[in-house]
Structures are given as structure tokens and as C-alpha cells.
Amino acid sequence: MNNIELKAKQIEEEFSIFDDWMDRYNILIDKARNLEPLDPKYKTPQYLINDCQSQLWLFCENKDGRLFCKADGDAIITKGMAAIVLELVNGEPLQDIINYNFEVFDKIGLHSHLSPTRSNGLRSLIKQVKLYAEAYLLKNISNDKQR
């Protein structure tokens, strides 16, 4: 079990404490409020997640083969979903992120409580995080070959 899977297990346990979805939404809201701020220079169309019901910006960088992301949004639930994604991937190896299926959102029942547009936004966010990881991994491989 890699570190992302361990983090996912902790998130599942955190959400399993509550049966009521209002309580679970409060977890999302708390995570959104604790999300590290995104520098305003990244709140541009280039960093905007497509297919999201609200505005959500994502910036990721590669440090020594590990991905570090920041996000911000104008809707608290969307921001909370982004906070979970970032909690899973921040500081993790690029290949582990690429391989992870993000099934934690199904396991905590979030997908079934989202509108279709919010579900699309979550899928787009996950896709973008994986694209960042793939691009940085390819860049690392290319740089290694040039040495």
C-alpha cells in the first residue's frame, strides 16, 4: 500500500464517523477553509479547471519527482473537494499519482451526492492533476536522457 492509499484510508475513516450527509458536507467545508491559499497570479484562465460548475484554479509543480499543488475556488464545496485531492497527492511521487484511481470519492459516497456538473468538475480536477504528474514525469525522463 503506497502513501496515497494510506491517506485515502484516513479520509474514508474520517467520513465514516458520520452517517448524515450534512455532517459530511461540514468536513468538506472545514477542509476548504484550511486549504493553503493560492497566489493570485495563478487565478488566471490558464489555471482554471474546465467543466467545473464554479471557478476552480489549480497550480502544480514538481519538486524532485514529487507533485505539489495548490488550488482555490469560489464555491466552498468545490474547494473542499479540491482540498481532498490535494491532501492525497501533495508530496507524492509522480508515478503513484498517475497510477492512483481516486476511488476514495466513491468509497466516501461523495459522487452519489454531487450534481452532474459538480461530478464533472471533480473528474476534470483529477484529470488535470494526473496530466500535471504525467507531464512532469515525461520532463524528468527527458532531462535524465540528456545527461
Q: What residues act catalytically?
A: 52
Q: Which long-range contacts (CB under 8 A, 24 or more apart) does 40-46 make?
A: 42/70, 43/72
HSE-up of residue 36 (Cα within 13 Å, Cβ side): 10
Largest CA distance in the chain: 55
Task: Indicate if the alpha-carbon torsion angle 9, 102, 111, 36 is positive or negative.
Answer: positive
Cα–Cα distance for residue pair 74/24, rounded to 1 Å? 20
Which of 49, 112, 109 is closest to 82 using CA atoms? 49
